[in-house]
């Protein structure tokens, strides 16, 4: 890839408005305007509120990103924008803004799949060679991708209902812990006994790499209600034990399904085997340790990009845009926003739709 390409990236597919400038593998600037506060009272992202906030903030983010990179639009080679999948109002805000910038500056436009942005991040941070295996695990996504090239993805499996981050968030809500749920459940779990409650490990009895997390949350709800009925409430220890049990169940499922995905990946005899994780749940120390150990056992290089590049950001969109631009992709004013846009078009659609919109 041309190391000198300078790309402006825009991202607005969910609840983060973001812009970034990337040159080669250098992130010159990355601005992320989160909307957590805006949606906190509603128990999930409200699409209309998200779209309005994106429309208000996206041009400010672009100006800030260029400013921090000490560049102007004249200095960039192309403008990359998330064109889906995601909440349609948000995706439209980004696409319209990028089209305006492209029309005004004459710079080429490149539409990027948000999931490709996540999937190509280990190349930005660690120059990971193709083919590698990726586990994308966040509040909106959960899938194994065999990444063969910037436009060649094979989905080996994914969740058929909730994403793990969504299950962490719901667990926190059920136990009265603050949002986002992942970090608060992880903190409680530190003093808990993971063996006290027998939570299920869904779909481990079935072959393949598909996963399910919604039954786990229902099991936790039943356990909570039965404790409340028996004792009139929850003790601090009950809460910690439930968090530890829940986290151990998620970790076990991810570990076993990753083992199966690695077997499929390694059967292709990659020259430099690599496994990467992305998404907010990748921050979980227990899950990270389980997957690191698994990779060590299989002689596979484990890559976990810094958290700021694992969660939603525009640097990943700029970088993916650079790879696509180098391959000759150019879009124009007909570029459309796609609410659904699977990376692997040959894979059967997964069921369900998460709190952050349709899962691709």
Query: Is there a binding annotation on residue 91?
Result: no
Return the number of the residue (272 or 307) whose C-beta is nearest Zn ion: 307
Provide the minimum distance between the beta carbon of 98 and ligand KG4 in the complex, in angstroms, as a whole number: 20
Q: Give me the residues that bind Zn ion (CB under 5 A), please.
A: 312
DSSP string for residues in 17-28: EEEEEEETTEEE
- Nearer CB in complex with Zn ion: 161/312: 312
Of 108 and 305, nearer to ligand KG4 (C-beta) is: 305
Does the annotation place 312 within a ligand binding site?
Answer: yes
55 φ/ψ sector (left φ>0, alpha ψ -120 to 50, else beta): alpha
In terms of Cα–Cα distance, which of 203, 205, 229 is closest to 216? 203
Alpha-helical (H) ranges within 69-200 are 88-105, 114-126, 164-174, 181-189
Nearer Cβ to ligand KG4, position 109 or 136? 136
State both tokens at 141: 């996504």
The residue (of 84 and 165) whose beta carbon lies closer to ligand KG4 is: 165
Angle at which helices 181-189 and 285-298 cross, to 10°: 80
Angle, alpha carbons 71-74-77 (nearest 5°): 95
Kindly tell me the burial class for residue 66, based on how many C-beta atoms sit within 10 Å of its own C-beta (0-12, 13-18, 19 or more).
Answer: buried
132-137 vs 353-354, strand pairing mode: unpaired
- The residues that touch ligand KG4, with contacts defined as CB under 6 A, are 14, 138-140, 165-166, 168-169, 180-183, 186, 279-281, 283-284, 311-312, 356
**Is 140 annotated to bind ligand?**
yes
The reply, when asked if residue 313 is annotated as ligand binding, is: no
The C-alpha atoms of residue 117 and residue 310 are separated, in whole angstroms, by 10
Which residue's CB atom is positioned nearest to Zn ion? 312
State yes or no: 54 annotated in a binding site: no
Least CB distance from residue 150 to ligand KG4, whole Å? Answer: 21
DSSP 331: B
Residue 114, marked binder: yes
The CB density around residue 302, as the number of other CB atoms within 10 Å, is 16
d(CA 198, CA 245): 7
- The minimum distance between CB 163 and ligand KG4, in angstroms, equals 7
For the bound state, the minimum distance from the C-beta of residue 13 to Zn ion, rounded and expressed in Å, comes to: 7
136 is in an annotated binding site: yes
Q: Which of ligand KG4, Zn ion, none binds 337 (CB below 5-8 Å, type-dependent)?
A: none
Distances (CA, A) of 347 to 87, 143, 157, 286: 22, 12, 9, 30
Minimum CB–partner distance for residue 282 and ligand KG4 (Å): 8
Would you tell me how many other CB atoms lie within 10 Å of the CB of residue 346?
Answer: 8
Tell the smallest beta-carbon distance from residue 121 to Zn ion (Å): 10
C-beta nearest to ligand KG4: residue: 182
Are 324 and 150 spatial neighbours (Cβ–Cβ below 8 Å)? yes
Q: Closer CB to ligand KG4, residue 235 or residue 285?
A: 285
Nearer to ligand KG4, 165 or 342 (CB): 165
Residue 169 interface partner, choices ligand KG4, Zn ion, none, CB cut-off 5-8 Å depending on type:
ligand KG4
In angstroms, give the least distance from the CB of 27 to Zn ion.
17
Residue ranges for the known binding site are 114, 118, 136-140, 169, 182, 186, 284, 312
Residue ranges for the known binding site for substrate are 136-140, 169, 182, 186, 284
Residue ranges for the known binding site for Fe cation are 114, 118, 312
């Amino acid at each position: 890839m041309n190391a000198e390409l300078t790309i402006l990236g825009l991202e607005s597919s969910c609840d983060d408005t973001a812009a970034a400038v990337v040159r080669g593998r250098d992130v010159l600037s990355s601005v992320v305007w989160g909307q957590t506060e805006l949606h906190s009272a509603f128990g999930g992202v409200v699409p209309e509120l998200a779209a309005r906030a994106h429309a208000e903030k996206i041009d400010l983010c672009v100006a800030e990103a260029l400013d921090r990179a000490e560049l102007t639009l004249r200095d960039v080679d192309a403008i990359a924008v998330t064109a889906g999948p995601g909440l349609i109002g948000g995706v439209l805000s980004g696409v319209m803004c990028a089209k305006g910038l492209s029309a005004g500056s004459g710079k080429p436009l490149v539409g990027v799949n948000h999931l490709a942005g996540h999937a190509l991040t280990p190349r930005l941070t660690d120059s990971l060679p193709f083919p590698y295996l990726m586990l994308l695990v966040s509040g909106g996504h959960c899938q194994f991708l065999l990444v063969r090239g910037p436009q060649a993805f094979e989905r080996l499996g994914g969740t058929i209902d909730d994403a793990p981050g969504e299950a962490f968030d719901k667990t926190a809500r059920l136990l009265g812990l603050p949002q986002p749920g992942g970090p608060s459940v992880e903190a409680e779990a530190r003093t808990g006994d993971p063996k006290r409650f027998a939570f299920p490990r869904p779909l481990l009895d079935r072959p393949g790499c598909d996963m399910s997390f919604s039954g786990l949350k229902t099991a936790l709800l039943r356990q909570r209600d039965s404790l409340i009925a028996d004792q009139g409430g929850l003790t601090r220890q009950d809460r910690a034990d439930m968090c530890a049990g829940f986290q151990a169940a998620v970790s076990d499922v991810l570990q076993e399904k990753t083992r199966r995905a690695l077997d499929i990946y390694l059967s292709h005899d990659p020259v430099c085997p690599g496994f990467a994780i992305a998404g907010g749940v990748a921050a979980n120390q227990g899950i990270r340790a389980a997957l690191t150990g698994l990779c060590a056992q299989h002689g596979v290089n484990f890559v976990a990009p810094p958290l700021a590049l694992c969660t939603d950001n525009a640097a990943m969109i700029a970088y993916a845009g650079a790879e696509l631009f180098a391959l000759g992709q150019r879009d124009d004013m007909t570029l459309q926003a796609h609410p659904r846009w699977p990376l692997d078009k040959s894979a059967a659609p997964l069921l369900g739709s998460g709190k952050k919109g349709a899962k691709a």
